[in-house]
Structure 1
C-alpha cells in the first residue's frame, strides 16, 4: 500500500489492553471503521497485553478488517510481527529498536517514527524512507505509562515548523481539544482512549475524521 498523507487524518491506535471490559478490539475497530478512521495501529503492549499465538491471531483478525475497509494496518515496534502479519506499515518509537535497523529489515513498508524534539525531527528529515512523524504527547495522557512531558500546542507548532514530514499528533487528544490540534496544521490525530473509551465509537470516529477533513478543505 502506498503512503498518502490523508491516511493520518483519523488514526486509531489500540491493543486489547485498551478495551473496556465487556467489549472486544475487533468490535471497536469495526465501529471505528464504520465511522471513517483512515488508519489503524496494532499496539499490543503492557502488563495485560496478549503474547505469542494469541497476539498473532488477534492481529490477523484486525488486519483483515482493515484490508476489507482498504485502510492501512500498522504494527507498533515489532518487526517480526509486522512481517508475520504482512502489515502495511510499522511505527517506531524513540525507545524502540533503531529506526535504521527497521528500515533495513522492512523495505517497502510505510514507516512512521515518533519524534518529540527538534533534534529528533531533524534526524527524521534525513531519513528519506520515513513517511510520517508522530509527535506528542500534545496533552498529558494516561494511555502510556512512559510518556514524555506534554508538548502543548506551542511545542507542537515548533516541531511543525521544522519537519519535512507530515506530522500526526498524539497524546491526550479528545473531543474538547481536537479542533485546537487540527488548527496547528498537523495532518491528523492518532488517538487511543478517545475511541476505546467512547460511548459511541462510530460517532466519535466520524467526528475525528470530519474535523481534519474540514480543516483540509
Structure 2
C-alpha cells in the first residue's frame, strides 16, 4: 500500500488497554470507528496492556480482518514481527523503540513507516530519513501515554510542521474543542486515542472530527 497524506486525517491509535483491558469492547469500538470513516488505525498493545504475546497476535489478526473489511490502512506500533504476522500495511516507530534506521532497512519499502518526533532535533533527523510521516506531540496535556513529554501547544506544533520535510500528524490531548485550533498549524491530520476509544458514541465522535476539516 502506498502512503497518502489523507491517511493522517483521522488516525486512531489503540489497544485493549484503552478500553478497560476488554478486547471485545476494543474490537467493537474499533469497528465502529472504521465504519464511521477513520482514515488509518494503529494497533498499539502497550503500556498497561495485560495481554500475552499470543493474545496480542490473536487480537491483531481480528483487527486486520476489520481493517480489510473497511479498507482502513493498518499500522502496528513498534513490532516488526507482529506487523509481518498480521500483514500490516505500516509500522510506527517511537524514539524509545527500535532504531529507525534498522526498521527502515528491515522493511525495505514493503511497509509504510511513521516516526515519532517531539523535538526540533528529532524532526531534523527525520528529514534525512525515508519515512512516510512523523507523529508530533503531545500538542496538549494527555493521560493516554504515560511517556508523553511536555505539551507543545499549537504554535510549537506549527513550528515543527514548517520544519518537517514529511507530513505531520498531531497527537496528544486532541479533543473536539481544540481540533479547529490544531488544524491551523498546517498539520496533515490528527491522531487520537481516548478521544475516540473513551467515547460513549464512537461513530458520532469520528464523524464530528471529520466534519471539522
Q: Quick check: 1:17 aligned with 2:33?
A: no
Name the structure 2 match of 1:29. 30
Asked if the contact 1:99/1:113 (under 8 Å) is kept, the reply is yes
Name the structure 2 match of 1:113. 115
Q: Distance in 1 between matches of 2:49 and 2:77?
A: 16
TM-score (norm 2): 0.96
TM-score (norm 1): 0.94
Gaps of 5+ in 1: 213-217
Q: Quick check: 1:51 aligned with 2:52?
A: yes
Runs of 4+ in 1 over 3 A off after TM superposition: 20-23
Q: Distance in 2 between matches of 1:121 and 1:161?
A: 10
Q: Distance in 1 between matches of 2:193 and 2:104?
A: 26
Cα deviations across residues 185-214 of structure 1 (Å, max 9, x unaligned)? 1111000000011120001011122223xx
Cα deviations across residues 58-108 of structure 1 (Å, max 9, x unaligned)? 000001101111111000011111111111000000111100001111122
Q: Distance in 2 between matches of 1:51 and 1:16?
A: 12
Q: Which piece of structure 1 moves more, 19-28 or 104-113?
A: 19-28
Q: Distance in 2 between matches of 1:204 and 1:155?
A: 26
1:201-216 paired onto structure 2 within 5 Å: 201-212=202-213
Gaps of 5+ in 2: none
Report the CA distance between 1:35 and its aligned residue. 1.3
Name the structure 2 match of 1:78. 79
CA RMSD across the alignment? 1.2
1:88-167 paired onto structure 2 within 5 Å: 88-107=89-108, 108-127=110-129, 129-167=130-168
Q: Which piece of structure 1 moves more, 45-54 or 140-149?
A: 45-54
